[in-house]
Amino acid sequence: MTLARFTLAITLCLAATSSSAAEPTLADALKVIQGKQFVDLTHSFSPTTPVWSGFGQATMSAACDSKTHRPFTIEQDGFRTIFYSLVGQYGTHVDPPAHFRADGLTMDQIPLEDMILPLVVFDVTPMLGSDPNHALSVDDIKAWEKAHGRVPAGAFAALRTDMYKDWESNPQRFKRSPFPAWSLAAIKFLFEERKVTAIGHEALDTDTTESMDSETWILKQNHFQIEAMANLDKVPPTGAVIVVTWPKVEHGFGFPARAFAILP
């Protein structure tokens, strides 16, 4: 082999090694993720869980044999299971566009890619002392951006109000109205100007208007949202990732969801 060919072979080998080293594998990514802190953003739900009065509480009972109507038990059958009766919008849940839009995306049509997103958290708790029902404004978002940088395109935007702390301890207070919420102007700014993918909040509704202006706009624009979130006070304003998913109900209009954050 000539010196020129030997040099070329070494160069190609080094280039291939360098290229390979620059490409992290899924195993590398998983190792990084497993070393991070996880925060559950989901409430447990039960028959006493806060819910919109128009829906009513869930019921849960032992599932029975369809012929004998005897409840299945571990002692007699080797297993047990529960029969659940609840509205889709129960507990921490997803509102797909089809909830408000006849031709909107249903739960099973929302892309998998939209279930893992950069997470930004807008904290309005400092404002609640003087304005208990503060609605996040465009000015609030711009002030947040001065401190934390521009809201990234494709993000999941969450509204921290600390309402979740009343979920179990004081459910009547949790269901209060009015409550701290999103303004329609802020919602439009986030989706139209910052191109976020979805939003979430701690309350059972997006806003406090009689016509549900913000919620109606979001869903009719074919975006989804997560309601009744928890533990947003344990997540930084930016840098985390949210993972959120739900059962794949065919043509579903809403269902309890599971959401968690992976901290930076």
Helix (H, G, I), strand (E, B) or coil at 164: helix
Mean pLDDT along residues 10-32: 69
Among the four given CATH numbers 3.40.47.10, 3.40.605.10, 3.30.930.10, 3.50.30.50, the one describing domain 40-45+88-262? 3.50.30.50
DSSP track, 183-200: -HHHHHIIIIIS---EEE
pLDDT tens for residues 163-222? Answer: 999 999 999 999 999 999 999 999 999 999 999 999 999 999 999 999 999 999 999 999
Taking 90 as the threshold, does the pLDDT of residue 15 lie above it? no
- Smallest Cα–Cα separation from 93: which of 157, 45, 130? 45
Strand ranges in 110-173 using DSSP code E only, listed in sequence order? 116-123, 135-136, 156-160
Taking 80 as the threshold, does the pLDDT of residue 146 lie above it? yes
β-pairing verdict for 258-262 and 240-245: antiparallel
pLDDT band at 74 (very low <50, low <70, confident <90, very high): very high
Taking 90 as the threshold, does the pLDDT of residue 142 lie above it? yes
The pLDDT of residue 35 is 97
Taking 60 as the threshold, does the pLDDT of residue 12 lie above it? no
The pLDDT of residue 10 is 42
Domain ranges of the chain: 40-45+88-262, 52-86
To the question of pTM greater than 0.85 for the whole model, the response is yes
